[in-house]
Amino acid sequence: MKNIKEYIEENKQRFLDELFGYLRIPSISSIESHKPDMYKAAEYVKAAVLKAGVDKAEIFETEGNPVMYAEKIIDPALPTVMVYGHMDVMPVDPIELWKSEPFEPVIREEKIWGRGSDDDKGQQFMHIKAFEYLVSTNQLPCNVKFMIEGEEEIGSPSLPKFCEENKEMLAADVILVSDTGMIAPDIPSITTGLRGLMYWEVEVMGPNRDLHSGLFGGAVANPINVLAKMIAQMTDENGHITIPGFYDDVIEVSKEERAEMAKAPFNVEEYKKAIDVEELGGEAGYSTNERTGIRPSFDVCGIWGGYTGEGAKTVLPSAAFAKISTRLVPNQDYPKISEQFKKHFEAIAPKNVKVTVKPLHGGHGYVCPTDTPEYLAADKAYTETFGKKPVPVRSGGSIPIISDFERILGIKSVLMGFGLESDAIHSPNENYPLFNFFKGIETIPYFYKYFVELKK
């Protein structure tokens, strides 16, 4: 790659300025009132790819948020790489914990701070800039397509239909995605597995109004007490999830593969220190990386009910609520899990409350083989720019649409993530190191190069 380092060095400030404009748009997909921001983000990214050199770019309407699609076809006989990314971001609360405004990006400590700086605007923007480099230096070795959606953080509900309806337009040899992370700042890695997901909101309804906890306490079931007992029952003392049938489709990973995984560098003391906990938790019989990489998990993401203001209010509340998620491993079917959970949660509810289970979204897990041209191309690209071979890892996160791409479009994805665990994605103070941003722009063109060579 001719003068890639120089090209980045010369255009650094412009790259950041352009990214910052993107980060300033509060495109939170889970909050309805931010819908106009999704269109702003789509227009912004459309303008960015046009500027970078695509032949055409278009914003497609869906039942939900828009999809920005663009392409540059230089020769139909050459391979086609489709870049997938998302322009939507997570909510920002608890807002009071941010050290700077989530939608006013700043550089501090050699990092970009702001919502979306890593996930996924920052990582996605690397692809636009890498593409710009290839086009402007006349080195683009293949056809390129961009599909940037606006619903990843809410489970991509509209994208499968979009793919069904645009199979021909979306035809490609591989889907290239940067929406995952690296093991450590100096250890490049390729994500070879993703967990699936199922997410519900539950309501436990007791009396028709908040009651006086003195006059009624002890005689009327308290919905918070009940919800706590129900949640407590969902996992046993070994950290196993108790939903009947939940593990039926879980494929046990072989001893050999587990031994291979165990070789990945991991320092448990540093891991604990980074999040400031004295002990970890989880399923008995599995290591920390196995607990997130190859085993499902059960997390209450939010809970609320009764009096949550200042001081004391003696009340027996009318209702209690929780947002509950499970991460699933490949081969677990999220609609089946959703039904199993609903049935079980309703079954364990005592008769003195009414329970409602509302599924919010779900997605399948994914496993990526390590002997394909795309894996090998990614491996060579990292080796070129980092000076060391990348480690294949199973991530605990979910990108539900990845398995849908394979099912609907018949295309495998390669997950070249440049994020770090310390980037605090989904949390206050999300950030993305400048090193990773620029290293990503440097590495991606090599993927194109080696992929085309390996496909010959």
**Residue 123, interface with its own copies (CB under 8 A)?**
no
Q: How far is the CB of 387 from its own copies (least distance, A)?
A: 26
**Residue 349, interface with its own copies (CB under 8 A)?**
no
**Residue 347, interface with its own copies (CB under 8 A)?**
no
**Residue 155, interface with its own copies (CB under 8 A)?**
yes
Residues in region 390-429 near its own copies by CB under 8 A: 395-398, 421, 424-429
What stretch of H or E contains 133? helix 121-136
| Residue 281 backbone class (left: φ over 0; alpha: ψ -120 to 50; beta: rest) | beta
Non-local (6+) Cβ contacts of 269 within 8 A are: none
Choose between 56 and 273: whose C-beta lies nearer to its own copies. 273
**Residue 296, interface with its own copies (CB under 8 A)?**
yes
Choose between 337 and 409: whose C-beta lies nearer to its own copies. 337
Q: How far is the CB of 105 from its own copies (least distance, A)?
A: 19
**Residue 316, interface with its own copies (CB under 8 A)?**
yes
**Residue 163, interface with its own copies (CB under 8 A)?**
no
Please state, in angstroms and rounded to a whole number, the distance separating the CA atoms of residues 175 and 193: 15
Q: Pick one of 63, 256, 278, 371: the residue that binds its own copies (CB under 8 A).
A: 278
**Residue 210, interface with its own copies (CB under 8 A)?**
yes
Non-local (6+) Cβ contacts of 349 within 8 A are: 204, 226, 230, 355
Compute CA distances 356 → 178, 203, 303, 307, 349, whole Å. 37, 5, 15, 21, 10
- Provide the token pair at 287: 């290591």
Choose between 206 and 390: whose C-beta lies nearer to its own copies. 206
**Residue 209, interface with its own copies (CB under 8 A)?**
yes
Contact pattern from residue 222 through residue 241 relative to its own copies, giving x for each residue in contact according to CB under 8 A and a dash for the rest: x-xx-xxx-xxx-x---x--
Compute CA distances 377 → 71, 95, 349, 441, 454, whole Å. 21, 41, 52, 16, 7
Non-local (6+) Cβ contacts of 275 within 8 A are: none
Q: How far is the CB of 354 from its own copies (least distance, A)?
A: 8
Choose between 50 and 277: whose C-beta lies nearer to its own copies. 277
Contact pattern from residue 6 through residue 25 relative to its own copies, giving x for each residue in contact according to CB under 8 A and a dash for the rest: --------------------
Residues in region 24-43 near its own copies by CB under 8 A: 30-32
**Residue 87, interface with its own copies (CB under 8 A)?**
no
**Residue 83, interface with its own copies (CB under 8 A)?**
no
- Give the number of residues in contact with its own copies, rule: CB under 8 A: 102
**Residue 348, interface with its own copies (CB under 8 A)?**
no
The sheet carrying 354-363 orders its strands as 319-328, 196-205, 354-363
Phi, psi of 439 (to 5 degrees): -65, -35
Q: Which stretch binds its own copies (CB under 8 A): 211-219, 379-387, 434-442, 447-455?
A: 211-219
Q: How far is the CB of 39 from its own copies (least distance, A)?
A: 18
Compute CA distances 453 → 68, 336, 377, 391, whole Å. 29, 42, 9, 22
- Provide the token pair at 101: 């405004």
DSSP characters over 14-26 = HHHHHHHHHHTS-
- Provide the token pair at 94: 């608890």
Choose between 50 and 301: whose C-beta lies nearer to its own copies. 301
Q: How far is the CB of 155 from its own copies (least distance, A)?
A: 7
Q: Which stretch binds its own copies (CB under 8 A): 137-145, 219-227, 245-253, 403-411?
A: 219-227
**Residue 91, interface with its own copies (CB under 8 A)?**
yes
Residue 236 preceded by cis peptide, ω within 30: no
**360, exposed or middle or buried, with CB in 10 Å at 0-12, 13-18, 19+?**
middle
Choose between 109 and 168: whose C-beta lies nearer to its own copies. 109
**Residue 203, interface with its own copies (CB under 8 A)?**
no
**Residue 371, interface with its own copies (CB under 8 A)?**
no
CA 342 to chain centre: 24
Please name which of 306, 367, 297 lies closest in space to residue 331, comparing C-alpha atoms: 367
